[in-house]
């Protein structure tokens, strides 16, 4: 059994998702299975668990 890697979210969903902290766009980091804030002043990375984005500031890590 192998674990699937990468983030597989629809382009439509990615187009409407925003950083809960600063409301900037999110980019996909496939290697870390995260959505990362495009605002360098915020720079939070949100995990994607089982293809579900966990958009909680308390669960995010600082990049």
DSSP secondary structure string for all residues of 20-62: TTT--BEEEETTTTEEEES-TTT-EEEEEETTEE---GGG-EE
Which of 3-7, 31-35, 55-59 is predicted with the least confidence, judged by mean pLDDT?
A: 3-7
Mean per-residue pLDDT over the chain, rounded: 92
Q: Helices then strands (H, E): number in the chain?
A: 1, 5
Q: Which residues lie below 8 Å from residue 2, measured CB to CB, with a gap of 6+? A: none
* pLDDT bucket at 6, cuts 50 / 70 / 90: confident
Residue 25 per-residue DSSP state: B
For the chain, the structural domain boundaries read: 17-60
Please tell me the pTM assigned to this model: 0.86
Topology given in CATH for the domain delimited by 17-60 = N-terminal domain of TfIIb (2.20.25)
């Amino acid at each position: 059994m192998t674990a699937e890697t990468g983030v597989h979210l629809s382009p439509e969903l990615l187009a409407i998702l925003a950083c809960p902290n600063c409301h900037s766009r999110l980019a996909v980091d496939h290697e870390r299975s995260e959505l990362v804030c495009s605002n360098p002043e915020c720079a939070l990375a949100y995990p994607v668990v089982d293809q579900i984005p966990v958009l909680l500031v308390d669960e995010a890590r600082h990049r």
